[in-house]
Every structure is written in C-alpha cells, then in structure tokens.
Structure 1
Amino acid sequence: MSVHPSSDAPRVLPALSPMLAVIGPPPGPEAEAEYAYETLWNGARVIAHLPGNGSLRLVAGNGMDVTAQYPELQALAALLPGPEAVLDGEIVARDLEGRPSVQRLQQRMSLHHPDAIAHGARDLPVRLMLFDILHLGEPTVHLPYTARRDLLDDLALSGPAVAVPAAWPSMAAEAMEQSTIEGYDGVVAKRLTSPYLPGRRSRDWIKIKHLDSDTNK
C-alpha cells in the first residue's frame, strides 16, 4: 500500500549550488547592451530555501547549513510566506559609516555559540542582498536573466535585514560609478538572455573589479 504525504507537509526544495562568475574585463561597446550590471558584494554567498511554511534555511556555497548563525535573516520568511522559493544572494556587513566591511562579516562568520550569535546579531548585524531566483512554486533556472529579475523585483522583498539591490541594464559606466561611491569592489555583468546554471562557472556572468579597489580597510 502506497503512503501519500500530507498535503500540509512542506515540499522538499531542490538543492542547487550557486552559479559562478568569471573574472574579466567589461564587455566592449558592441556588447555592453547585452548585459545588466549589479554590485559585486564581496560577502558570504548563500542559497535561501523557503518551503512556504514560515521557515528559512540558508545554505553556504560549500553546502553547509548556516541558518542558525544569522537569526536576523529569518525576517525573509515573513516577507515571503509563500509559495515555496529558492533565492540566491549574499550576506554583507557594513561598518559604522555604512560602508562594506569584510572584517565585520568575518567576525560574524566566526560566531557559533548561541549566546555569541545573539550578541552578534545585535552588535554586528548583517543584511541579505538577494539577486536571483531559482524556484518560485516551480523551477525558474531555465528562464532568461531578465525574466528571473522581473520575478524577483515583483516580490518586493525589502526590510532592515533583506534587500533586492538595483541592476543597471546596459549601463556599465553608471554601475561602476555607483559601486565606487558605495565602496564596493566592482560589478558583475550578467547576460540578459542567460539562464541560471547551478554549480557552473560561466562567461554569462563576468566579475569586473575596480583596479584600485580596497574594501578590507
């Protein structure tokens, strides 16, 4: 006799590894309009699993579950109670002037005891920057970047601990200037027609660094 799972049971979401970028120069003038440009965060990459039951699971790029290390990011589950979703993003920390701080992020990443994590969430808060959507009720990895970005923007995920950062279609110079102003390392150029390729490094995503970037200060 077959046993059917309860309709109330959360669905098992796909275990997907993050898509990776290559490091290179920006696309030339003839290809610039084929890409959108996003901030290069230089944070801690995570895949966020939201099974639609009010819970959140954060999986690092190495496959480790890091959910318990960042309790303030549970706010995402309240912002997106359903349908079930898998999102790609990066955890970042800022210094007292609001600029990116690798040092503060490393301090948070080193905390594992519950009491230390609770104090860290208060004194060294982090924010989850969401930039792609891999599943929303059904798989979305096959969709082009533009369609996935529209889906993500339509979710209107915004709060003290969660944000969907801006993308600049066909505007490489503007994106590079803004990332310089905000103190980031550079931008990532993402081909507008590209699908999401889990676990693969592809030239559809190009990591473009400022020549004089130094965000570790």
Structure 2
Amino acid sequence: MLFKPLNPMLPVWREEPFDDEAYLFEPKWDGARMLLHKQGGRIEAYTRSGMNVTGLFPELQEAAQSIRAHTAILDCEGICLRGDRSVFDDFMHRLRLGRSDKIKQARTSHPAAWIAFDVLLTTGGEHMQEPLLERKRRLDELLEPGPALLKTVCLESKGNALFELTAKQCMEGIVAKRKTSAYKLNMRSPDWLKIKHTQTIDAAIVGYRTNPFQLLIGLQFRTVKNKLVGTVQAGLEAEHREWFFEQIQRDGIRQEGDTFWVEPRLCCRIQYKDRSDTHQLRYTRFVSFLPDKRVEDCVWSYGLQ
C-alpha cells in the first residue's frame, strides 16, 4: 500500500453537535484531504481521489523531517494558513499550479502545511485495525511537530464546547470519531461524523425549476460572472414563489428541459453547510429575497467563506 493511491475513510454527515464519552472530537480544517507516504528520505502526497501531487509542494521535504519513523502513511488535511485560519481557496490555488516558477513563488505567497490526525502504517506494519485511541498514541510518538507538519487538536467527550470554539475561530466545524473505531479504507463510516457550521451568502438568481420549485443561484468570481453554484429549495414558501414570478413575468426566459434560465437581476440570501472544491454549495436553505441588492455585489469572498 506504500506509495500507492488509497481512498481514505470518510465521515457521515450529522446536523447537530453532541457530548459523548465514547468519542474524540477534532476541528475540521478547511483544506484538502491528503495521505502522506514516507520511506526513508522519500515522501509523496496523494489527494483523496488518488492523485499524486508531490511535485506541487516543495514543503513536503520539511514535513518529512517531522516524521520520526523510517516508514509511515499519515492521514492529513493539507492547508494554507492566513494568520490562525486555514483558507480553502488558498490551498485550491496551490493545487492548480503547474509551472515550476509559480510553485516556487507560491511557497512564499501561499505556504502549505499538513495537519495529521491518523496513522495507517509505520515501520512496524499496518495499524488500521487498531482502535482510534491506539492510533492517536502512535501518532504522538511518531511526530516531532514543525511548521510544515502538525498534529490536530483533539478533545475527549466535549463536542459542544469544541463546536462553539470553532465557530468563534471561523472554522468549518468539527469531526466526531468513535474512540474504538478501526480505519476502513474506501468507506464512509458512521463511526466518524462531520458537523459543520452554517454559512450565509448572498447570491444572484440565474434560473429556476418548477417541480419541485427551486431557485438556481450564481456568484461572481474573479474570472467567471454569475457562475452557477447550486440550487435552493428548503425554506421557499408559496408567497416566495408568487413574489418571484411577479418579478420575472416580463423577463426573457430561456427553457432547457426542466430548467428555466432568467436574466440575473434578482438576489437572495441563503444558508449552506458545505461546498465542493469547485464552490458548489450544498445543504442550502433560502432565507430571503434581496430586492435592493445588485447581482454584481453577490461575490464569492475569497478566504471568508
């Protein structure tokens, strides 16, 4: 399994935080999941999808110096920090680079680091069948934390307190992990639970569907205007539907299958709890229309979402 793509264990979604003596709770860092493979002086990084991205991150050589074992596979989150915050878009920027001069420059402008939270293998063999608490102990012994490789914060039993703290620090949320859980590759396991904070954003309305009624929402990016970033259905009531159709009745509407595209001129406020690497918003909920807001001002705020 060393230096081969692996599909990491993934958490199941949960709505609300909780306290439980059977669980460990960790902050959810806002970056990209990665597995670091090391053997001697060789270190490689693989994304969750199995892509080898070692060449994009010269910082890996420094990270390797923090791993005491000759051989190891660590489960980590790759991040870029601005102050004390990990910024999703900064790390996505690093993953998009190709030219060596740009990669070298980004090491200064967008320095990367890795937050380790699990160990799959060491010089002594595989550890995936061991309980999480034992793997955490091994991780403590394995790491000599440095600027490029750190161990995540971990709190026993007090999920509500950590959830509140991560909200104050503008982090994504928390992950709850059963203390006895084994590590299961290529599986989304109920032994791990992700609990995210609700985010709010103002979006342009670029279209709609009628069965069921939902709005298609877009945002302004640096290189793309009114980019479709998702749909919203929850929270929309009959009066919202009526108001919306009154506003667009004189507009030119273009139909494609069950989708109706409108001229972006109306805005709405939504809540969401998750987004993809391509900024597709998930677990959305309608809050209100914003008749006085300009669509040009419905902007993805880099580093603030």
| TM-score normalized with structure 2 length | 0.62
Write out aligned runs for 1:25-104 (5 A). 25-26=15-16, 32-51=20-39, 53-80=40-67, 82-95=69-82, 97-104=83-90
8 A Cα contact 1:26 1:206, kept in partner: no
TM-superposed CA distance for 1:27, in Å, is 6.4
What is aligned with 1:120?
106
Residues 206/61 of structure 1: CA separation in 2 closer, same or farther (3 Å cut): same
Q: Select between 56-65 and 75-84 the one with higher mean Cα deviation.
A: 75-84
TM-superposed CA distance for 1:110, in Å, is 1.3
Which of the pair has more CA radius of gyration? Answer: 2
8 A Cα contact 2:116 2:151, kept in partner: yes
What is aligned with 1:142?
129
What is aligned with 1:22?
12
What are the superposed Cα offsets for residues 35-86 of structure 1, whole Å, 9 maximum, x if unpaired? 10001113111111011x2110101111110011111122122222533111
TM-superposed CA distance for 1:177, in Å, is 2.3
- Determine which of 176, 181, 194 is the counterpart of 1:207: 194
Q: Which has the higher strand share?
A: 2
What is aligned with 1:7?
none
8 A Cα contact 1:88 1:131, kept in partner: yes
Residues 194/168 of structure 1: CA separation in 2 closer, same or farther (3 Å cut): same
Q: Secondary structure at the match of 2:91?
A: helix
8 A Cα contact 2:115 2:151, kept in partner: yes
Q: Select between 196-205 and 151-160 the one with higher mean Cα deviation.
A: 151-160
Q: Structure 2 CA distance, aligned partners of 1:184 and 1:38? A: 11
8 A Cα contact 1:168 1:174, kept in partner: no
Q: Select between 80-89 and 193-202 the one with higher mean Cα deviation.
A: 80-89
Structure 2 unmatched ranges of 5 or more = 202-302
Q: Structure 2 CA distance, aligned partners of 1:48 and 1:38? A: 19
What are the superposed Cα offsets for residues 11-47 of structure 1, whole Å, 9 maximum, x if unpaired? 9556532100111134655xx1111000111311111
Q: Secondary structure at the match of 1:179?
A: helix
Please report the RMSD computed on the Cα atoms of aligned residues, expressed in angstroms: 2.0
8 A Cα contact 1:103 1:216, kept in partner: no
What are the superposed Cα offsets for residues 107-128 of structure 1, whole Å, 9 maximum, x if unpaired? 2111111111000011110110
Structure 1 unmatched ranges of 5 or more = 1-10
8 A Cα contact 2:68 2:143, kept in partner: no
The structure showing larger relative contact order (alpha-carbon pairs under 8 Å, at least 6 residues apart) is 1
- Determine which of 119, 123, 129 is the counterpart of 1:133: 119
Q: Which has the higher helix share?
A: 1
Letter in 1 for 2:11: A
Q: Structure 2 CA distance, aligned partners of 1:15 and 1:111? A: 21
Number of aligned residues? 203
| TM-score normalized with structure 1 length | 0.86
